[in-house]
Structures are given as C-alpha cells and as structure tokens.
Amino acid sequence: MRSRTHTKPTEPLSYTDRSKLVVPPDGDTFEWLGADPYRAALKPWSFPSIGHTIRYPCDKSQRPLTLFSRLELASAQVHERRSEVVEVFDQVPLLPTSRVRWYARRLGMHAYPREGTFASTDLVLRVRQGPRIWWEAVAVKPEKQLRKGKVRLKLETERLFWHKLHVPWRLDTDTSYDEVELSNLQFLAPSRRFEHFMPLDRMVGDAILEAVDGALLGPPLSRLCDALAAVDRQFRVRPGTAMSGLRWALATGRYSIPVGCRISPTMPLESLIGDAG
C-alpha cells in the first residue's frame, strides 16, 4: 500500500506552515476564493473529529466537499440546489488569524483561535444573480448548541469577520430547513448525480420514460407502484427500474415536485398523482 506520509500534514496544522493552507495573496480580500484549484483548509485526517466525517461530491464545486456532520451535509445539499449558487466552498479559513483573534478579544475570548490553529467557516457560497456576483458565508450549528455561551461567542466572532468584509453571513441550524424538502433532496440527489437511468439503454430508457409519463398523466391509479412494476415487467428490466426512471425525471426537472409534497419510500409518490404533469 502506498505510504500516506507525504500527504499527511503535520498535526496540529501549523499556522506558520503556509504550504498547508490556502493563503490569500492579499490578506484582506477574498478574491483568492475563486482561485483554481481550491483546496479545503481542513482535510479529514487533519481534524480530530469525534463524529462523522463526510466527503460529499458536490456538482457545483466539481470536487468532494469535506463536511464534519450530517447537518453540514444537509446544509450543503440545500445550498447546492439553489439555482443562484454557482459554487460551494467548504471549511474556508478565516485569515489572517490575527484579525480573528482581535475580534475574539473584543468579545472576551482570549485564547481563540488557539495558537497554531485557525478559525474556519463551514461553507462559503459564490452566488450569482444576473451580472452580480457575491459571496455568502454559512455557519452550521445544531440548535441545541446555541445555548452554550462559548459557541455563541465563536459564531459572533465569525459574523464580525465576514461583516467587516461585507460578506453576508448566515447561521443554519437544524430547524432552518424544511424537513420535507430535506427528505426529498436526500431521495433525489443521488439520481441526479449518478445519471444511472439514461445510459442504461437509450431506447429502453426512452420507452420506460414514456410509460412512466403515461402512468402519471393517465387516469388516477390507486397505486403508482403497481403501475411502475407493470412497466418493469413490460420491458423485462430489473424491478425498480421504472421507479428509478421516475426519480431521475423528478431530479432532473423533467417533472416538478409539488411544494410540500413528500416523496420518499415511507410516503411514496401517490400524493404526486394529482398534480403531476
């Protein structure tokens, strides 16, 4: 097995070791964020995480994001789906550290960030609307942790930092998202990314999609699953293929999801029938 030593940075990550960090050419501006290639400041193995460490292949970033909780994953998925978001950056360091430390001292925290480390923001979005392009910083915290004073101070430091740079900063908690929307996202996102369905067989795929169209637009069916199973049998494909096709169509925008409609295996697509098409 290949040795990992040359890819493993020194722990703890040294602030003086600039090669490990993405250092802005100009300490105060954040034009460097769009530099290519961008590298996340925190690598999975450089972070003493006690929980999940998730690598999520983000379409808009064209590279896997490194996320340190399920909540961050949910946040990244939600923001990735926003049409105005162009790119998502993860674990962006707040540099220079002296500035962060100055804000922290103003708030009464004297050892933050700790020597040899740096503060970071969970997600930074590049947003584009028409000709305007701007940045958005997103911090993700569970609602429960906001009761801790230390956590609130750190978030305030972060907010001050981005405020000084005229970057809008927002805080996402586990109550910021619609649960239905999140479950739909979880259900559909892999379909959109994988593109499983179409490359399977062009002709069969199109035929199945037509059949699914018919099932959706035809007379009301008591159970959509039965209709899709019939499609499977008709084309002699693996059970569930028509369902995958429907999901692919939903994920790629061929069909629109009614607002507030929950599509998941536990409460499947029957509620879609009335509105679809």
Partner 1 sequence: MTPAELVLRLQLNVVITLRDDHGTPWLGRVLHRLENAATVWLWPLDQPPQRLRCRVMTLKQIVDQFIALVPAAEDALQVPMPIRVLSPATARGLKKNRKIVAALEARMSEFFIESGLNRQLLVEIASDLHGAASSETGAVVPAGAVAYENAVPGVEKGTSPASIERTIARWFHGGRSDAALMPHYGSCGHPGAPRFAAEGRKLGRPSLVVAAGQLAASEDHRSTTPEDRAEIFDLVDHVLIKRKGNADDVVQAWHELHNVVRFVDTDGKARISPLPLSATLSERTVRHWVAERLKEQGMFKKRVGERTYALKFRPRVHRQYQFDGFAGLRCQTDAMSIDDVEVVSRLDDTSVLGTMHLYAGVDAVTTMTAGAFMSLRKPSELCVAQALLNVALPKQPLLDRYGLTQCRWDADGEYAMYDVDWGPDFSSWAATELVGRTKITWTNVGRGRPDQKPSVESIMATLQRWPKWFRRALARNDVKAPRPKLTQHELALAMLLSILERNEALVPTKFLDAAAIEDGLREPSRAAYHEWARARGGWPMPVRAPNNIRLSYLPRKAAYIADHGVNVGGFYFNLPSELSRLLIRHGRRQRPAICVVWNDELFADTWAYDLSNGSAIQLTPLHALQRFATLSWPELEALKVDIALARHWALPAWRDARAQIDAERERAGLSPLGGRRLSSSQPLLVEESLPTVVLKELKEGALEYEGERGGLDELCRETAVGGWNYAE
Binding site for partner 1 (CB under 8 A): 1-4, 7, 44-45, 49-57, 63-64, 73, 186-187, 189-191, 193-197, 199-200, 225, 229, 232, 237-244, 246-247, 264-268
Nearer to partner 1, 106 or 238 (CB): 238
What span, in angstroms and rounded, lies between the C-alpha atoms of 226 and 229? Answer: 5
Q: How far is the CB of 62 from partner 1 (least distance, A)?
A: 8
Nearer to partner 1, 129 or 186 (CB): 186
Using alpha carbons, select from 86, 56, 84, 81 the residue that is nearest to residue 71.
56
Question: Cα-atom radius of gyration of the chain, to the nearest Å?
Answer: 23
Q: How far is the CB of 166 from partner 1 (least distance, A)?
A: 33
Nearer to partner 1, 105 or 144 (CB): 144
Q: How far is the CB of 265 from partner 1 (least distance, A)?
A: 4
Nearer to partner 1, 152 or 196 (CB): 196
Q: How far is CA 172 from CA 3, 4, 176, 240, in A?
A: 39, 35, 6, 35
Q: How far is the CB of 187 from partner 1 (least distance, A)?
A: 8
Q: How far is CA 226 from CA 213, 221, 240, 254, in A?
A: 14, 9, 11, 22
Q: How far is the CB of 134 from partner 1 (least distance, A)?
A: 27
φ/ψ (deg, to 5) at 250: -65, -40
Nearer to partner 1, 70 or 114 (CB): 70
Q: How far is the CB of 40 from partner 1 (least distance, A)?
A: 10
Nearer to partner 1, 63 or 128 (CB): 63
Token code pair at residue 6: 């040359």
Give the angle subtended at the CA of 154 by the CAs of 148 and 160, to the nearest 5°: 135
Using alpha carbons, select from 121, 126, 125 the residue that is nearest to residue 158.
121
User: Beta partners for 140?
Assistant: 172
